[in-house]
Amino acid sequence: MAYRLKTFRVQFVAEPAAFPTGSPCRSSEDVQRVARGIYQTLDADKEHFLLLAMNNKNRVDGFKVVSTGSLTASLVHPREVWRAALHLCAAAVVFVHKHPSGDPAPSQEDQEITRRLKETGDMLGIRVLDHVVLGDEGRFFSFSDRGLL
């Protein structure tokens, strides 16, 4: 009798300019710099929710675009987020999404999903380091910097 198993391999490939290899993400500034490199490859007129999978030294091991939505919203479910984090063997995570409007101020929905994801991350033993909302031209909002995590 033969058994078939699904296997997968995750690999992160980045251009040096988009991702500073060898240096950990120690701040929200580092996160937004890395994320902007990734967002250059995505549709600018849609909202994308991104997961950065971090190792124990806070270096990005991989990323996953968890959700792509419309101009004003992206449906994010904790099940999909944590499935990606587990597949990427994340010790910690950072969430990032970009508001196509250019205003990085988080919505009530952004605050609620961040709270839910933090709670479920705590149950799984995966640290949530930050949730960064990107806006236009270097503007961003960090939940961690504002003490909201």
Average pLDDT over residues 8-24: 53
d(CA 99, CA 44): 9
Higher pLDDT, 128 or 39: 128
Whole-structure pTM over 0.85, yes or no? no
Tell me, rounded to whole angstroms, the distance of Cα 46 from its chain centroid.
16
Average pLDDT over residues 102-119: 93
Asked if residue 43 has pLDDT above 80, the reply is no
Q: Do the Cβ atoms of 34 and 52 come closer than 8 Å?
A: yes
Residues 6+ apart with CB under 8 A from 69: 46, 47, 48, 49, 75
Helix (H, G, I), strand (E, B), or coil: what is residue 91? coil
Question: DSSP code of 66?
Answer: E
- Domain ranges, ordered by start, for the chain: 28-142
**How confident is the model at residue 72, as a pLDDT?**
62
**How confident is the model at residue 20, as a pLDDT?**
47
Asked if residue 22 has pLDDT above 70, the reply is no
Range with the poorest average pLDDT among 31-45, 103-117, 134-148 = 31-45
d(CA 6, CA 23): 33
Please check whether the domain covering 28-142 is classified as CATH 3.40.140.10: yes
Tell me, rounded to whole angstroms, the distance of Cα 123 from its chain centroid.
19
Q: What residue type is 83 in one-letter code?
A: R
**How confident is the model at residue 9, as a pLDDT?**
60
Tell me how crowded residue 53 is: count the other CB atoms within 10 A of its CB.
24
Residue range 48-93, pLDDT digits in tens? 899 999 999 989 988 899 988 766 666 788 999 999 999 999 999 9
